[in-house]
Structure 1
Amino acid sequence: MGNLTLKLFHTRMCNKNTKERFHFQDDAGFTLIEVLVVVLMIGILAAIAAPSWLAFVNRQQVNKANDAVLAALQEAQREAKNKKLSYSVSFQKNTTTQNVEVAVYRTKKSDGSNLPFAEISTWKPLGADVGANSDKLLLGANLSAENIANSTTNSPVSYPPPSTPTKITFDYMGALTSPTPNFGTATAPSTEPPGLKIVVAVPSAANSTLASSVKRCVIVKTLLGSMLTAKDDKCS
């Protein structure tokens, strides 16, 4: 009998301890101070991460746009060789939509005259097919005329370029058309001309009409139309 009483007492005590261990108070939760601390920590982390994320997004956008510039130039050169006709590629900043636009087209009309810019019907937003938001980018170039590099050495690239769209033309062999193109003046200590540059850039945070240090460009380097891509200070 004594052993039975002792076992019952032991069982009650174990059950009581178990209930106490797993019983939650009705008022359990977070205090206002704890919530504020968490919110403050999230804000601090977001403030630290936001600039890096924005810089990453900007680099992705300008990379996509520059790939589209290269693709357009290559398309014009390819069409010129395939069809044995002169083809041009032009770039402009649309003042209405703010998109950087590109057009690849036959340089001359059927009567042999040059196609006026006003009659170009193939304009499209640069890089729209690869997800580039060209309205957030600046368009620059070092061209003073068709296939002619700007002779200004201290600031050859302008943002935006002249109101007349920037134009590069390839002849029926895929080379740059005559008269002889001008690739610009070499800046010491380099002895190599800068080439014909089409530049896309992220606007400066201080002034949206000026380019930041984040730039990408395609450079046409030779009479045969060879191209290379570059970035940042190489695109100045």
Structure 2
Amino acid sequence: MPPMNLGMDVRTKGFTLVEILITLTVLGVLAAIVAPNLLGLLNRQRMNAVRGEILLALEQAQSNAKTTGSDQVVRFDTTADPPRYSIGTSWRNFNGISAGQIRLVTTAPSIQFNHQGLPDQEVIPFIATVSLVNFPNSKKCVMVKTLLGAMGTYEDSQCD
């Protein structure tokens, strides 16, 4: 018995041009909604990473000062693009940061920890603020707040 043809032409398999265009339009709208959120997430991650590196550098210098019994200095080159820092004499770049991505502002060009790990009292509070070049209102910072060298991380208006 031959197959029954229920009014469907065998050549109608696949998608029509209208179906493909509707699918592409929906995908385009979804991409337009997701792309800015993804970009914002990447930018926040960059700022968090730089802030984390600054905190780690300060903590490392403070620890080294206590361990070695000698002064340790952390310097920040905020005029370089991208900004960089040094502990001692070797300059380091922030991981994964390219020119034109972030801005670094510090309340002093350097901070020194004495042989007991205490910061130079003349620069307290020391604040290193990270922002995006294109979005300067979004800020993340590290603050050395006390004469004993207590440190913390903050965001936005807490960095002022």
TM-score relative to the length of structure 2: 0.87
Write the distance in 2 (CA, Å) between the matches of 1:219 and 1:123: 21
Write the distance in 2 (CA, Å) between the matches of 1:133 and 1:85: 31
Q: 1:170 aligns with which of 80, 90, 113?
A: 113
CA shift, 1:215, in A, is 1.4
**C-alpha RMSD of the superposition:** 2.1
Matched to 1:181, the amino acid is: E
Aligned residue number for residue 70 of structure 2? 85
Structure number, greater radius of gyration:
1
* Structure 2 residues not aligned, in runs of 5+: none
Identity of aligned residues (%): 30
Aligned residue number for residue 154 of structure 2? 230
CA shift, 1:218, in A, is 0.6
Any residues of structure 2 matched to 1:181-220 within 5 Å, and which?
Answer: 181-183=122-124, 195-205=125-135, 211=136, 213-220=137-144
Cα gap change, 1:134 to 1:71, in 2 (>3 Å): farther
| SS of residue matched to 2:11 | coil
Q: 2:13 aligns with which of 28, 43, 62?
A: 28
| SS of residue matched to 1:16 | coil
TM-score relative to the length of structure 1: 0.61
Q: Deviations over 1:28-86 (max 9, x none)?
A: 22222222221111111111111111111111111111110000001111111111111
| SS of residue matched to 1:34 | helix
Q: 2:86 aligns with which of 103, 127, 131?
A: 103
* Structure 1 residues not aligned, in runs of 5+: 1-11, 106-119, 144-165, 184-194, 206-210
Q: Is 1:51 the equivalent of 2:51?
A: no
Write the distance in 1 (CA, Å) between the matches of 2:140 and 2:35: 23
